[in-house]
Amino acid sequence: MLTFKNRTALVTGAGRGIGKAIAETLAREGVTVVCVSKSADSCGAAAAVITQAGGKARALAVDVSDGAAIAKAAEALLQEIPLIDILVNNAGITRDGLLFRMSDADWNDVIATNLTSCFHWTKHLARPMTRARWGRIVNITSVSGIVGNAGQANYSAAKAGMIGLTKTLAREFASRGVTVNAVAPGFIKTDMTTEFVGKPELAARILEAVPLRRFGEAADISSMCAYLCSEEAGYITGQVFTVDGGMAM
Ligand code: NAP
């Protein structure tokens, strides 16, 4: 059991996959969770699962690739809940393709959704954390941002950018008791990876590069994330935790 002192979290991309698991894990620990996703149905369903299980959650539909939409949503939210103690920047997309075939739109959408969204959410929610002298920010990056991945120039650049942002903000916020860390998943079974995981031949080839010989579950990421958000992780900041079955050793 981890320690959380009546905290409130905002988790982006909480409608499905890893973000949904993070929201549910935090809620089980007694954290009130604001579940953000692009579609109202998706975050609404995720928040409903939490409340039906006895947890505290609300849904907030925001397109995180739109900085003005984040500003509007964050402003309204802070009117109601003046302090969000925990921010998990998890929303992400892929638009894969080799560089020569990658369109400007695919580059821009991936950078805006995965990276620029972290800048905007943090800018709005971190100030009250610094005033309260306590806060936790966790950015969900990727092994692709550490070692690169052919066909993912946009995604790898965005995820590597998140690591630079994490380390810089860890330095900027450290004196205020706000920690900033990143989690870098490998291949996790979610909607994002069904095209790999669902094809036996391709899946077997990928698993040859994974020493633990299995794909990760969303819970493998959410447990690491919950730890980083807890009281117990107060002396950890500016770090990137790879959770990938040993793939990028
Ligand atoms: P997923 O199953 O595809 O879910 C993505 C979530 O992000 C959804 O809830 C989606 O909202 C939300 N989202 C996407 N674009 C958005 C936007 N513009 N505005 C608001 N919300 C948006 O993905 P996942 O596999 O759980 O991935 C979660 C994070 O982990 C991502 O950052 C991803 O890059 C990272 N990651 C995943 C893996 C993996 O193997 N799965 C590996 C490394 C890193 P809707 O539900 O409304 O569509």
From first to last of its 249 residues, the chain has per-residue pLDDT tens of 899 999 999 999 999 999 999 999 999 999 999 999 999 999 999 999 999 999 999 999 999 999 999 999 999 999 999 999 999 999 999 999 999 999 999 999 999 999 999 999 999 999 999 999 999 999 999 999 999 999 999 999 999 999 999 999 999 999 999 999 999 999 999 999 998 888 999 999 999 999 999 999 999 999 999 999 999 999 999 999 999 999 999
Catalytic-role residue among 4, 107, 134, 155: 155
As for ligand 1, residues whose beta carbon falls within 6 Å of it are 12-13, 15-19, 37-39, 42, 62-65, 90-93, 113-114, 140, 142, 185, 187-188, 190-193
Task: Provide the terminal-to-terminal Cα distance of the chain, rounded to the nearest Å.
Answer: 29
The token duo for 103 is 């369109």
Ligand 1 centroid to Cα of residue 218, in Å, is 11
| Domains by residue range for the chain, with CATH | 8-188+217-242 (3.40.50.720)
Quote the DSSP letter at residue 101. G
The Cα 214–Cα 229 span in angstroms is 26
Q: Residue 224 carries which side chain, given as an amino acid letter?
A: M
Regarding pTM above 0.75, the answer is yes
The Cα 51–Cα 74 span in angstroms is 22
Reduced to 3 states (helix: H, G, I; strand: E, B; else coil), residue 98 is coil
Ligand 1 centroid to Cα of residue 70, in Å, is 17
